[in-house]
Amino acid sequence: MPFFSWCWKRRGDASTSSLLASQEDETLSETDSGKKSKQGLQLEPTKAKKSKSASGSSGAGSDYGSADFSPWTSSKRLTLRRLGAIRESLSKKYDGSFNFKPGYEKDFKTLRMLGRGAFGSVFLAAKRNAKNGDGGREAFAVKRVKKDILKSKRHAGALLLEIEIMMKLRNNLNVVHFEDAYEDARAVYLVMEYCSGGDLIYNAKANPDFSEQDVRLYFQDIIRLIGQCHKQNILHRDIKPDNFLKADASSKAPLKMIDFGLSTIWNGKPKKDMTGTPFYMAPEVISKKGYGFAADLWSAGCVLFFLVEGKNPFEPCDTFSNLQFKICQRDASFSKPIWKKVSPQLKDLTKRLLQRNPETRLTYEQAVKHPWLDNDISPSAALNDTMIQKFQSIGSFHRLKRKVLTDALKYLELEEAEELIKIFSELDVDNDGFITKTEMVKGLGKHGYKVSDHDSKVIIENIDVDGNGQLDQNEFVVALLDLKTLQKDRKWHKIVSNLFDDMDKDKDGQLCADEIKAAIPCNEYFALEDIDDEVEQIIEEADEDGNGTIDVSEFTRMINETAATLDTYDKRWGK
């Protein structure tokens, strides 16, 4: 069983609040909204309560600092490649150290506690030497996990897998952004985006005016996140309302998935372990018959049911055996009056997601095409309202590919680029040739999009090739141009070939690691060893003949490979 194991929820702890049905309930008191501030990865079965005191705690690292504890090999930002090396080292020997970077207290000031659990605590913290677009310190949620909890390879491996999954989804705006990992002699510190809007359970109680359209907007975020996970072979296994936080307290703030503690990389072989939160487990999970991606869609159906009726479809239930019977043998009931007040399409989608047979249950691809969800009638924004989706999608390209595309644009004259250049000029308010985070937020708002300061930071990280923390015109345009449009230009093949020749310094027809490293711009987040990691990953991706280098045909195929569909990314349109 995973380290962050599933919990049995007693009837008194079950989610009984409502988004639609709560309109008929009495107003709930402030003391009933204790789940508002759950943040970060799963700590324990019980939910973290919001601290009412500004002081809350003595600090995330106040009793854990150790100035002479310094076994780390790098002081730069954690990369997937280095995380893999840490895992490989851990598989051979685990002595309680992960080799994450030191200096949490030097980089962050802890403000107050957000929640406490059996496996650690979550704190609100601010970066000491960085400010957000409003001139204040950028806020983060920091999870401190005590090392005396991480005693075995199994426990340590579960933590590393959770970090890996968050990093793989880093370019998605519906996932809480993983910033970095720190370590000292007694604890690990996971630094993440801070979401201040509360979870779905809190918002169910707090908003008496929820409509079916509001439910649709929330569920679009949830189903889109599931699609993004499945596209990367991630089986989530714990889709439930309290694992989604609103980015901020505004009424239309987007949802962010915050908990990947039970997630796993799925290779297609049915899983047999009973993992998850029982009320949201699919029949094939709770009966241990073997499960896969379809189990996440069942959980999504339970969440959709909750958004309408205000409770899980299998509540109330007093024993685990009774819950197993209900989930495996009984259909969800749609007899409450609220189901007569919503559209037949909403009811149909919920029923089809709650099919007990995983073979007949809707897949992600089928769910997003369901009439209740596939009814986007938003007015056209710039680029037919796909700008934010494209900004997220390009984050799946490594920096060498983004640099080549940016350089290639200099040699092309494209009519399609003219509109994008105009948009860039509109966003570049001070006309200095660069778009900053602040300009990004304000400018995109004028085009019908809603992004937060932290969203703009993620977007710039996805697009920024040279690592200067802002976007120049070519970086911006390349992110939004359809790669197939570039490939249609008759000069395209020659341009790519010429760029390869420019990188091939010794003219042997192969790009070696040193030549690739020289082509990648230095970035403030990456030390030399991180660039080596990135280069290794690039070669692994492109080197089809396995000789450790990239020839011009491999290079061209790598550059020409297009991104997957945009539909798993949030549009951030008019929210």
Cα distance between residue 447 and residue 445, in whole Å: 5
Termini Cα distance of the chain: 39
The DSSP secondary-structure symbol of 524 reads T
CB distance 440 to 449 below 8 Å:
no
Q: Is 337 exposed, middle or buried (0-12, 13-18, 19+ CB in 10 A)?
A: exposed
Cα distance between residue 499 and residue 517, in whole Å: 15
The DSSP secondary-structure symbol of 235 reads E
Cα distance between residue 34 and residue 442, in whole Å: 33
What pLDDT was estimated at residue 530?
Answer: 63
What pLDDT was estimated at residue 529?
Answer: 47
- Assess if CATH 3.10.420.10 describes domain 37-193: no
Nearest by Cα to 282 from 245, 347, 236? 236
Cα distance between residue 500 and residue 484, in whole Å: 19
**Domain 37-193 shares a fold with domain 200-368:** no
SS3 content of the chain, % helix, strand, coil (to 5): 40, 10, 45
Cα distance between residue 248 and residue 194, in whole Å: 9
Helices (H), 97-145: 104-107
Q: Which residues pair with 271 in a beta bridge?
A: 291
Cα distance between residue 250 and residue 241, in whole Å: 18
Per the listing, tokens 């995983």 go with 358
Helices (H), 54-152: 80-92, 104-107
- CATH number at 200-368: 1.10.510.10
What pLDDT was estimated at residue 170?
Answer: 81
What pLDDT was estimated at residue 379?
Answer: 33
Where exactly are the structural domains of the chain?
37-193, 200-368, 382-560
Contacts for 532 with CB less than 8 Å, ≥ 6 apart: 513, 517
Phi and psi at residue 30, to the nearest 5°: -60, -35
Which 3 state secondary structure label does DSSP give 481?
coil
- Is-cis flag, bond preceding 344, omega within 30? no
147 known member of a binding site: yes
Cα distance between residue 242 and residue 261, in whole Å: 13
**Residue-wise pLDDT tens for the chain (575 aa)?**
333 333 333 333 333 333 344 333 322 223 333 334 445 333 333 333 333 333 333 344 444 333 333 344 455 778 887 888 898 888 888 988 998 999 999 999 999 998 876 667 899 999 887 655 455 678 899 999 999 888 889 889 999 999 999 988 887 888 888 999 999 998 999 999 998 888 777 666 656 667 888 888 889 889 988 988 998 899 999 999 988 888 887 777 788 888 888 999 998 899 999 989 999 999 999 999 999 999 999 999 999 999 998 889 998 888 999 999 999 999 999 999 999 999 999 999 999 999 999 999 999 999 988 999 875 433 333 445 677 888 787 777 887 888 888 888 888 777 667 778 878 888 888 888 888 888 888 888 776 777 777 787 788 877 787 777 788 888 888 888 777 777 777 888 899 999 999 999 999 999 998 898 888 876 554 444 467 777 888 888 888 888 999 999 999 988 888 655 666 677 766 55
Catalytic residues, by residue number, are: 238
Cα distance between residue 457 and residue 451, in whole Å: 10
What pLDDT was estimated at residue 298?
Answer: 96
Which 3 state secondary structure label does DSSP give 175?
strand
Pick the CATH number of 382-560 from 1.10.3720.10, 3.40.50.300, 1.10.238.10, 1.10.340.70: 1.10.238.10
135: left (phi > 0), else alpha (psi -120 to 50), else beta?
left
Quote the tokens at residue 304: 């959709």
Nearest by Cα to 307 from 198, 196, 200? 200
